[in-house]
C-alpha cells in the first residue's frame, strides 16, 4: 500500500543559504550531503531533504506546509525576530492543538511553528 510518507523534500533556490537557515534558525543538523544540490537533515521520523532547484521561486504557491514543534513559542518568536526571519504574524494564533505562528525560509516556503497545549 502507498500510505506511508517516507521523505519531505523542500525545494530551495540556494542550498547553502537554506542549510544555514534550517540549521541556525530552526536547529536541524545536517545528516548527509548528496552532491552539491541535495542535503538531508537529521530527523527522528520523516527525513527532511533540501534540494536546490533552479525552478524554485520566490513566494511559491504552497499546498504542503512543514510544521515544526516548539516547546516555547514566545521565546522562538523572539529568537526569529533577532535573526531577521520573516514572521507572518508576531503574536501566536490559536489552533485546535495549541498555538502557532508562520515563518518563511529564504525562498519563501512557509513553515508553521506549533506549540501544543498541555
State pLDDT tens for residues 72-104: 999 999 999 999 999 998 799 998 888 999 999
- The rounded Cα 117 to chain-centroid distance in angstroms is 21
Domains of the chain (ranges, CATH numbers): 8-54+63-116 (3.10.180.10)
Kindly tell me if the per-residue pLDDT of 52 is higher than 70: yes
In angstroms, the CA 26 to CA 95 distance is 21
In angstroms, the CA 70 to CA 2 distance is 30
Secondary structure string (H, E, C) spanning the chain: CCCCCCCEEEEECCHHHHHHHHHHHCCCCEEEEECCCEEEECCCCCCEEEEECCCCCCCCCCCCCEEEECCCHHHHHHHHHHCCCEECCCCCEEECCEEEEEEECCCCCEEEEEEECC
State pLDDT tens for residues 18-28: 999 999 999 99
In angstroms, the CA 46 to CA 28 distance is 13
Kindly tell me if the per-residue pLDDT of 105 is higher than 80: yes
For residue 56, the model assigns a pLDDT of: 63
In angstroms, the CA 89 to CA 44 distance is 29
- Residue 44: which pLDDT band, with cuts at 50, 70 and 90? confident
Amino acid at each position: 500500500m502507498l500510505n506511508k510518507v517516507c521523505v519531505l523534500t523542500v525545494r530551495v533556490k540556494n542550498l547553502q543559504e537554506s542549510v544555514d537557515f534550517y540549521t541556525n534558525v530552526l536547529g536541524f543538523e545536517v545528516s548527509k550531503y548528496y552532491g552539491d544540490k541535495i542535503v538531508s537533515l537529521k530527523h527522528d521520523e520523516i527525513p527532511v531533504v533540501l534540494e536546490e532547484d533552479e525552478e524554485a521561486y520566490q513566494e511559491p504557491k504552497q499546498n504542503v506546509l512543514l510544521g515544526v514543534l516548539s516547546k516555547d513559542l514566545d521565546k522562538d518568536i523572539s529568537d526569529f525576530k533577532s535573526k531577521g526571519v520573516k514572521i507572518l504574524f508576531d503574536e501566536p494564533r490559536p489552533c485546535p492543538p495549541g498555538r502557532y505562528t508562520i515563518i518563511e525560509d529564504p525562498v519563501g516556503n512557509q513553515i508553521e511553528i506549533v506549540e501544543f497545549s498541555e
